[in-house]
Amino acid sequence: MRFTAGLIVLVSLLVAEFLWPESRFIAFALSAGLVVAALTGSCLMGRILSRMPWNKVTASPTARSAIASIPVATQEL
């Protein structure tokens, strides 16, 4: 999470320096959010990212389902 936040701040500052000066407000907002998270112990961005579909934990496979997922060779070797 901290890597992502730091990367967004870094990219925002680089974009502000070379392309679009207003992008520094993205870095400011993210930095302010990190300060609030540190003071309160609650991170809104972390909660939002943890609810994204790619962060969902799937159930552990059973032995039967793991064996069933192994492809079967159709040709003799």
- The percent of residues above 90 in pLDDT, for the chain, comes to 6
Question: Which of residues 76 and 66 earns the better pLDDT score?
Answer: 66
d(CA 40, CA 42): 5
pLDDT, tens digit (0-9, with 9 covering 90-100), for 17-43: 999 898 889 888 888 888 888 888 888
Average model confidence (pLDDT) across the chain: 84
CA distance linking residue 25 with residue 13, whole number of Å: 9
Cβ-contact 61, 69 below 8 angstroms: yes
- Which residue's entry shows tokens 């934990």? 57
Which residues neighbour 69 within 8 Å (Cβ) at sequence distance 6 or greater? 61
pLDDT band with cut points at 50, 70 and 90 for residue 67:
confident
- pLDDT value at 56 more than 90: no
Domain locations in the chain as residue ranges: 2-53
